[in-house]
Amino acid sequence: TGRLEGKKAIVTGGSRGIGAAIAKRLAAEGADVAITYAGNEEASKQTVAAIGAAGRTGYAVQADAGDAAEQATAIGAAIDKLGGLDILVHNAGVFAINRVDQDDGSFDRLFAVNVAGVQAGTAAAAPRIADGGRIIIIGSVNAHHSIGPGLAPYGASKAAVAGLARGWARDLAARGILVNVVQPGPIDTDMNPADGAMAVGFQKMIPLGRYGKPDEIAALAAFLASDESSFITGTTIDIDGGLSS
Ligand code: NDP
């Protein structure tokens, strides 16, 4: 039996990339998993099928995390489908390069999805998440380590969720709900392909000399979701091949 046997989990943005890897890993460890996705229905079906192949029940709910009302409704609907909630993973996120002297207007969208979506989802889930539950946010090493120009708004959005997590850890401690942030460095996904234009420069900065894999983030998320993380709350954990060392 897995570490998450019988648990009920939500992974936002679970159709592709890191979120899909986390959803599959939580299912492999015994959890039923509901994912949200923005628009890629085909990819969402693949994740749900993989959850089913692991012997667990999967659900997919389409919702734009950047629309607070839609996000709150989706989280509520996912909890209804699961019949409860133990683990909430905020993974849905967007990336943009936005230099201060070349503002492309992406600041508002970054904060809507990466910050306000996390706030709205947690607010909807908090009254219903089981005592002893978990909230895990996928932040970024960019929260504290700006690795190149144009990353100010993205990094600030990820610093913002680290701040939210510290506060929520205190708000929810009395119920035994642990709140933490996983801060990846460059991970090979559609957002940041290891063979993409940004990759050459990023790769040189990583002591381990390679991009991370979604499964490596999923392993940390599964640990934080499990009973083994019982004394960890209100913190951020870098998982970046040494990038920010
Ligand atoms: P991808 O772009 O590969 O996948 C994004 C996933 O999130 C998809 O499932 C997508 O759904 C969903 N999504 C995107 N926007 C929204 C939205 N507005 N509402 C709901 N769902 C949404 O990204 P990654 O897997 O690379 O990134 C996942 C998280 O990890 C993000 O928060 C990102 O900031 C963070 N991160 C990524 C790093 C990297 O190098 N890849 C490094 C550090 C942090 P759909 O399939 O429907 O489009």
Say how far apart CA 224 and CA 221 lie, in whole Å: 5
Residue 2 inside a domain? The answer is no
Dist CA 18 CA 184 (whole Å): 10
Say if 3 falls within a structural domain: no
Is the shortest distance between the CB of 65 and ligand 1 below 6 Å? Answer: yes
Question: Ligand 1: distance of its center to the CA of 174 in Å?
Answer: 31
Q: What is the CATH number of the domain that holds 54?
A: 3.40.50.720
- The Cα 213–Cα 18 span in angstroms is 8
| CA 231 to centroid of ligand 1, rounded, Å | 28
Tally of domains within the chain: 1
- Alpha-carbon distance of 145 to 140, in angstroms, equals 9
How many beta carbons lie within 10 A of that of residue 229, not counting itself?
18
In this structure, is residue 101 part of a structural domain? yes
- Alpha helices (H) along 54-103: 68-82
Contact 94 CB / ligand 1 (< 6 Å): yes
Protein residue whose Cα sits closest to atom 23 of ligand 1? 191
Per-residue pLDDT of the chain (245 residues; tens, 9 = 90+): 799 999 999 999 999 999 999 999 999 999 999 999 999 999 999 999 999 999 999 999 999 999 999 999 999 999 999 999 999 999 999 999 999 998 788 999 999 999 999 999 999 999 999 999 999 999 999 999 998 899 999 999 999 999 999 999 999 999 999 999 999 999 999 999 999 988 999 999 999 999 999 999 999 999 999 999 999 999 999 999 999 99
Question: Does residue 1 form part of some domain?
Answer: no
Interface ipTM:
0.99
User: How remote is the CA of residue 208 from the centroid of ligand 1, in Å?
Assistant: 23
Q: Residue 244 falls within a domain, yes or no?
A: no
Q: Which residue reads 């970054």 in tokens?
A: 110
Structure pTM?
A: 0.98
Nearest CA to ligand 1 atom 6: 13
Three-class SS state of 193:
coil
